[in-house]
Amino acid sequence: MAKKNSLKVVFDSPVVLVFSVVSAAVFIADLIFKLNLSEKIFECPGAKSVPAFDFKSALDYAKLVIYPFSGENSTSFFLNTGFILLLGPVLEERYGSVMLALMIFITSLVGGVLTACVSTFGISGCGGIVFMMIILSVLSVFIKKQLPVSWIFIFVLYLAFALASGKKISGFMPFMQESVPVFIQLASGICGSLFGFFVCPKKRSSQSQKKQQEKTIESEPEYSSSSDETIVGNISL
C-alpha cells in the first residue's frame, strides 16, 4: 500500500523562534498589560542618558545583551520581527543554531557596550540583529562574486526607515545626534555579520563537502558478483 502523505509541523529554527516568541511576549506585556518591561528591564541606558549606565549595577550589565528583546513601537516591532523570521531560518540552516545564537550575542554585546560607553541615548530593539542578517545574507552571495541589487535596495530602505522612525528634529546636527543609536546598531550588525562570515566558511564548506560525498556514495550502485555470471553453453560433438 502506498503511504499517505501527512502534513508535519516542524520546529525548524529554534533560535529564531525562541527569540521572536520572547520579543512578542515583552511587546504584548507592554501593549496590553502596561507593564513597561522594555523601559524598566530591557532597555540599555547610555553613557550620558537619564538614567545613565550604572557600572555597579548587575542589571545594567545584563541589559548589554538583553535589550534586543525590547520594542520601541509597534511598527518597529512588526517590521524587525518580520525580517528576522524571513532571514533567520535560512541563516540558521546554513550556519547552525549555535553559531547564529553566538552571532546574535556578539551583535547585541557590541551595541550595548558602545551605547554604555559613548552614547547619550539608550538603546532598545533588535535593529542591530536585522542589520546583521541583511549584511550576512549579502556577504553569502558576494562570495560568489555577485552583488545583488535587490539586497542593496533592502539594506538602504531599512536604514532609511531606521533613521526616519526617530524623533523629528529640525537641523542636521540635532538629527545626527538623535540618530546615534541607529548607527550603533549598524556598527554592531557589521561586527556580528563579519564574525559569522569569517569564522564559519571553513566549517560550512567542510559540512557541504561531507554531505555531497555522502550523497555520491549513496547514489553509487552496489557491486554484486551475481551480476557478473558467465553462461556456458552445451558443446555437442
pLDDT digits (tens, 9 = 90+) for 13-70: 999 999 999 999 999 999 998 888 998 899 999 998 888 999 999 999 999 999 999 9
* Positive or negative torsion for Cα 145, 150, 155, 160: positive
Start-to-end C-alpha separation, the chain: 54
Average pLDDT, the chain: 84
For the chain, the C-alpha Rg in angstroms (whole number) is 26
At residue 120's C-alpha, the angle toward residues 114 and 121, to 5°, is: 85
Under DSSP, is residue 29 helix (H, G, I), strand (E, B) or coil?
helix
pLDDT greater than 90 at residue 234: no
The CA-atom distances, in angstroms, between 153 and each of 42, 158, 163 are 31, 9, 15
How many Å apart are CA 134 and CA 142, to the nearest integer? 12
pLDDT greater than 70 at residue 8: yes
The pLDDT of residue 205: 47
The pLDDT of residue 111: 97
Residue type, 37: L
Q: Are 114 and 131 in contact (CB under 8 A)?
A: no
**Domain segments of the chain as ranges:** 14-205
Q: Are 91 and 136 in contact (CB under 8 A)?
A: yes
The pLDDT of residue 166: 60
Query: Which of these ranges, 15-19, 69-73, 124-128, has the smallest mean pLDDT?
Result: 69-73
In CATH, what number does 14-205 get?
A: 1.20.1540.10
Residue range 189-213, pLDDT digits in tens:
999 999 998 887 645 544 555 555 5
The CA-atom distances, in angstroms, between 155 and each of 50, 83, 210 are 31, 11, 33
Could you tell me where the DSSP H helices lie in 165-200? 172-178, 180-199
The pLDDT of residue 222: 53
Percent of the chain with pLDDT over 90: 54
Task: Provide, for the chain, the percentages of residues in helix, strand and coil under a 3-state DSSP scheme, each rounded to the nearest 5.
Answer: 70, 0, 30
